[in-house]
């Protein structure tokens, strides 16, 4: 393997997807920031969830909001639906994997909360069902996706669809967009 060529190729692809994401997602990103700001200012919470690497992103972003991103400030109510092993195993055992997140949304979310599903394909059944549950509860059903948006398109709004078919590049943009969301909320919700 020519590691130098591999390194350059991966960085070039990342740069191309970054440029396409910059062009495509400015408006939906601004709308996501706006709904999250409204939720935080009204005493609502921001809820993240996804599978695999997206589960890790959900935990990461909820922690950045609830604890701190770059500076000390009041905590922002946020949680990940991927962390409670007793809840996850009970739901999986009693209801099945497809209801893993929807059951938690039904139990924990209220009107005005922002529910953010993360799926690189946009087709994860448990993410779809949770977004449907959020809409039923009058919570904001938002999402991070990739490829063509999959089944999340038309269900999640705001919906940030990374213009790539490569899972790694989509995940890289998801965490970048997530960090940008945390930074924008922290800036807006912190005193000068």
Domains of the chain, with CATH numbers? 3-189 (3.40.50.10490)
C-alpha to C-alpha distance for 153 and 54, rounded to whole angstroms: 17
CA angle, residues 82, 140, 70, in degrees to nearest 5:
60
Residues 48/42, Cβ–Cβ less than 8 Å: no
pLDDT digits (tens, 9 = 90+) for 23-62: 999 999 999 999 999 999 999 999 999 999 999 999 999 9
C-alpha to C-alpha distance for 111 and 95, rounded to whole angstroms: 24
CA dihedral 123, 129, 131, 132 (to 10 degrees): 120
C-alpha to C-alpha distance for 91 and 110, rounded to whole angstroms: 20
Rounded CA Rg of the chain = 17
C-alpha closest to that of 32 among 157, 150, 155, 117: 157
pLDDT digits (tens, 9 = 90+) for 122-170: 999 999 999 999 999 999 999 999 999 999 999 999 999 999 999 999 9
- Strand (E) or helix (H) holding 47: strand 46-50
pTM: 0.97
Q: For residues 85-120, b (16+ Cβ closer than 10 Å) or e, as one string?
A: eebbeebeeeeeebbbbbbbbeebbeebbbbbbbbb
Check residue 191 and give its pLDDT: 76
Look up residue 37 and give its two tokens. 């700001």
C-alpha closest to that of 119 among 128, 108, 110: 128
Check residue 2 and give its pLDDT: 96
pLDDT digits (tens, 9 = 90+) for 164-184: 999 999 999 999 999 999 999
C-alpha to C-alpha distance for 104 and 164, rounded to whole angstroms: 30
CA angle, residues 131, 44, 105, in degrees to nearest 5:
30
C-alpha closest to that of 140 among 123, 154, 157, 152: 157
């Amino acid at each position: 393997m020519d590691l130098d060529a591999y390194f350059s190729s991966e960085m070039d692809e990342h740069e191309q997807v970054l440029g396409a994401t910059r062009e495509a997602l400015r408006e939906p990103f601004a709308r996501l920031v706006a709904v999250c700001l409204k939720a935080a200012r009204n005493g609502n919470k921001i809820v993240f969830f996804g599978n695999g690497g997206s589960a890790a992103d959900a935990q990461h972003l909820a922690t950045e909001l609830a604890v701190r991103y770059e500076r000390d400030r009041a905590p922002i109510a946020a949680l990940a639906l991927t962390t409670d092993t007793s809840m996850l195993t009970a739901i999986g055992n009693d209801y099945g994997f497809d209801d893993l997140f929807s059951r938690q949304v039904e139990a924990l979310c209220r009107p005005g909360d922002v529910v953010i599903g993360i799926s690189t394909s946009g087709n994860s059944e448990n993410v779809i069902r949770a977004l449907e549950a959020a809409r039923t509860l009058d919570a904001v059903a938002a999402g991070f996706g990739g490829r063509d948006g999959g089944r999340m398109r038309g269900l999640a709004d705001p919906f940030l669809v990374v213009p790539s078919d490569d899972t790694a590049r989509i995940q890289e943009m998801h965490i970048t967009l997530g960090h940008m969301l945390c930074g924008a909320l922290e800036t807006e919700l912190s005193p000068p």
